Amino acid sequence: MDSRRASRMVIDPKPKVRQVGFFTPGAPPERTKSSPAESLSSPPTSDMSPAGNSLSPVMIPPPRHASDNLSSSLGLNSSRVLPVPVPMSPIRRPSTGDNLNLPLGSYNPSESLLGTSLSPSSGFDDEGLSEDTSTSGWFVRGNPGKVASSFPSGGFDTTAMKSRNIPVVSNLTTVSHLLTKRKKGGIAEKGGTLVEVQHEQVRDSKLKEKTSKAERRALQEAQRSAKAASRAEGSKTAATSGGVTAANAKPAKAKASQKKEGSSVASSDRKGPEKDRKKDVPHPRMQFDDKQRVEKAKRRAVVKQTEARNRVELFRHLPQYEHGTQLPDLESRFFQLEPMHPSVYKVGLQYLSGDTSGSNARCIAMLQAFKEAIKDYTTPPEKALGRDLTAKISSYVSFLIECRPLSISMGYAIRFLKNRIAKLPLTFSETEAKATLCSDIDRFINEKIILADKAIVKHAVTKIRDGDVLLIYGSSCVIEMILLHAHELGRQFRVVVVDSRPKLEGKALLRRLVSKGLCCTYTHINALSYIMHEVTLVFLGASSVLCNGTVYSRVGTACVAMVAHAFRLPVLICCEAYKFHERVQLDSICSNELGDPDVIAKVPGREDVDHLENWANNENLQLLNLMYDVTPSDYVSMIITDYGMIPPTSVPVIVREYRREHLWM
């Protein structure tokens, strides 16, 4: 009974929050509003207050406000911010809102999101959390903003919000955070999250130095209460789960020091071990504004990488190299790179030169190359096939990454292959093992890509009716297959191919479509709003679909989806399920790929239009050629995948239910 009420309370605000969220084009962004108005208009806070009754009201606002402040600054550059409007104290805002947190902004999310995305998301479900909140009242009270804000936007947003909130919450409720984890996810997940929490604390301590006295005091108060709550909780869980004492001990110790010296000292106290931990954990994605690491990586690198000059400041964490120099250098050392298998080398060259692009094609090319490599592989004496081959594959992968950053879908394929290698029975002979792996790879390509595409085509064709005008953007092979299939079925429809510079991928697609007898219109993305009037349906491809329903795709897709949304047109995303990813990404900044800036500076075929000649010599000019962008799930009507047509909110279900068992079978 109690639980029902609690969960209800949380779920209730859902529609309202949706309305005021940042996605909806009509609604004004809360950020610009003054804080009193916000607190008035925000339903969740009013909902929260009864729950937080037993607490003194002083404790609640600071952490919540700080966390939201942080996340809003993170989201500054994206359309997506926490959907919950939060009261902000007027004193705090100017000091921390932008100037303090911004430098972290481009840096934070990828780490926190990547690090946690795997562990919590896998074992996380809505009921678990809601029950939790109900049974342990302190949790709700300890970080009410978190729970309230995370729920409305669907189950999977919770992970993102959670990890985001950690920076502030962790100081006070480290234990509670871990405890809830432990209850739900099990002990195995603890390691990753613990480190994550500590990660955030380092940054947090920075943040803290600038907080006002009142703020610190409020923090302290909140911590004390949280500690009291966790003590009661801790005694309970200690009985149930035995293996958690180590984790318990650490926060407890930290708590003790907190008590003595206050929060700021405590956090500085913890810095030492945190750093050590940090080293142990491999970075999920390298941050290229970290000079030391970049230097280190360069020394290992096979491909000569000259860092491009004039990089855009906001995207410094992404790799960008002088594009002209890499290919000739790699080519000239063709024979020196002995350990690289020729087929892998070839694929790398094709990535680097852009001969192979598109995530399906790249993934297939990579897998085929690995298959060739496995066929030619012989286990060196005194080594186990499982280990040595995994190391080999890893070296191939790092070579391919140097040629071009992996697409998200390829990560899944690599994980699959490594997993298959690891799961090989020890009794297998080498030839048996190789044959198994090769057939596994073939099966992966067949099931996950080719058959998946067929399934998608079958589903999608049902959505095309006579008289439709379909708008497509860029060049996606699935969409091409859909169109051709619909044409074969005799549907009468027209296609609008929208294209964009610099790649002009649509041209090749257009050529193929026209040659098959389809009626097409070709336009550039500039004319999108004009052409959208006549369109009835929008089909888009995707490089990946992330767990919060965000579509990660060729740059420009978000724009197309947004305009279509404004015209109230259905936007259908066609994406194979193997491209779904556990990650949650709210903006296209933290993880993206930078293309060759020279390409946008030049106009193909027009040598005379060369106004940006020698642009690299001008310090004031930075060109940005982004490869991908992120389409928020609000603009997506439906995702067509091999398991059927699903709403964007169901992506996590696919990831959880279908993918894991495939990976671990």
Partner 1 sequence: MDFQVVVLAGGTSKELVPLVSKEVPKALLPIANRPVLSYILELLEASNLKDLIVVVEGEEAAVRVGGWITGAYVDRLHVEVARVPEDVGTAGALRAVAHHLTASDILVVSGDLVCDVPPGAVAAAHRRHDAVVTALLCAVPVSGPSETGASGGKDKAKKPGRYNIIGLDPTTQFLLYIATGAEVEKDIRFQKSILRAVGQMEIRADLMDAHLYAFKRSVLQEVLDQKDTFNSIKQDVLPYLVRTQLRSELSSNGMSQAEENWNGKVASQDNQALSSQQLPPGMIPTVPSFHELYAFCPNGSSPPKRTHKCCVYIASKGKYCARLNSIQAFSDINRDVIGEASHLSGYSFSAHNNIIHPSAELGSKTTVGPQCMLGEGSQLGDKCSVKRSVIGRHCRIGSNVKVVNSVIMNHVAIADGCSIQGSVVCSNVQLQERVVLKDCQVGAGYVVTAGSEYKGESLARKEKSQS
**Site residues for partner 1 per CB under 8 A:** 328, 330-336, 338, 342-343, 345-346, 349-350, 353-358, 360-361, 364-365, 368, 372, 439, 442, 445-446, 450, 453, 475-478, 480-481, 484, 505, 508-509, 511-512, 515-516
Give 505 or 629: the residue with its C-beta nearer to partner 1: 505
CA 39, 43, 88: angle at the middle one, nearest 5? 25
**Shortest CB 218 distance to partner 1, Å:** 56
SS3 string, 442-480, reads HHHHHHHHHHHHHHHHHHHHCCCCCCEEEEEECCCHHHH
* Angstrom distance (rounded) from CA 551 to CA 540: 10
Give 217 or 323: the residue with its C-beta nearer to partner 1: 323
**Shortest CB 545 distance to partner 1, Å:** 20
Give 25 or 342: the residue with its C-beta nearer to partner 1: 342
Q: How many CB atoms lie within 10 A of CB 9?
A: 21
Q: Which two tokens stand for residue 466?
A: 């006579």
* Angstrom distance (rounded) from CA 392 to CA 405: 18
Helices (H) and strands (E) in the chain, counts: 31, 11
**Shortest CB 315 distance to partner 1, Å:** 24
Give 248 or 360: the residue with its C-beta nearer to partner 1: 360
Residue of 477, 480, 458 whose CA lies nearest to 643: 458
Tell me the sheet residues that pair with 638. Answer: 572
Q: Which two tokens stand for residue 584?
A: 């949650």
Give 90 or 328: the residue with its C-beta nearer to partner 1: 328
* Angstrom distance (rounded) from CA 202 to CA 188: 24
* Angstrom distance (rounded) from CA 305 to CA 288: 12
The one-letter amino acid code at 246 reads: A
**Shortest CB 552 distance to partner 1, Å:** 18
**Shortest CB 412 distance to partner 1, Å:** 18
Cβ atoms of 367 and 413 closer than 8 Å: yes
**Shortest CB 445 distance to partner 1, Å:** 7
**Shortest CB 635 distance to partner 1, Å:** 25
Side by side, the strands of the sheet bearing 644-646 are 519-524, 493-499, 468-473, 537-541, 571-574, 638-641, 644-646
Give 454 or 524: the residue with its C-beta nearer to partner 1: 454
Q: Which two tokens stand for residue 18?
A: 């949706």
Q: Please state whether beta strands 544-546 and 551-554 pair in parallel, antiparallel, or not at all (unpaired).
A: antiparallel
The one-letter amino acid code at 424 reads: L
Give 208 or 371: the residue with its C-beta nearer to partner 1: 371
Give 334 or 567: the residue with its C-beta nearer to partner 1: 334
Q: Please state whether beta strands 638-641 and 571-574 pair in parallel, antiparallel, or not at all (unpaired).
A: parallel
Q: Which two tokens stand for residue 405?
A: 């950053």
Give 18 or 346: the residue with its C-beta nearer to partner 1: 346
**Shortest CB 370 distance to partner 1, Å:** 12
**Shortest CB 334 distance to partner 1, Å:** 3
Give 328 or 467: the residue with its C-beta nearer to partner 1: 328
* Angstrom distance (rounded) from CA 176 to CA 230: 6
The one-letter amino acid code at 427 reads: T
**Shortest CB 347 distance to partner 1, Å:** 8
**Shortest CB 359 distance to partner 1, Å:** 11
Give 175 or 456: the residue with its C-beta nearer to partner 1: 456
CA 69, 75, 79: angle at the middle one, nearest 5? 135
Residue of 132, 131, 270, 127 whose CA lies nearest to 195: 270
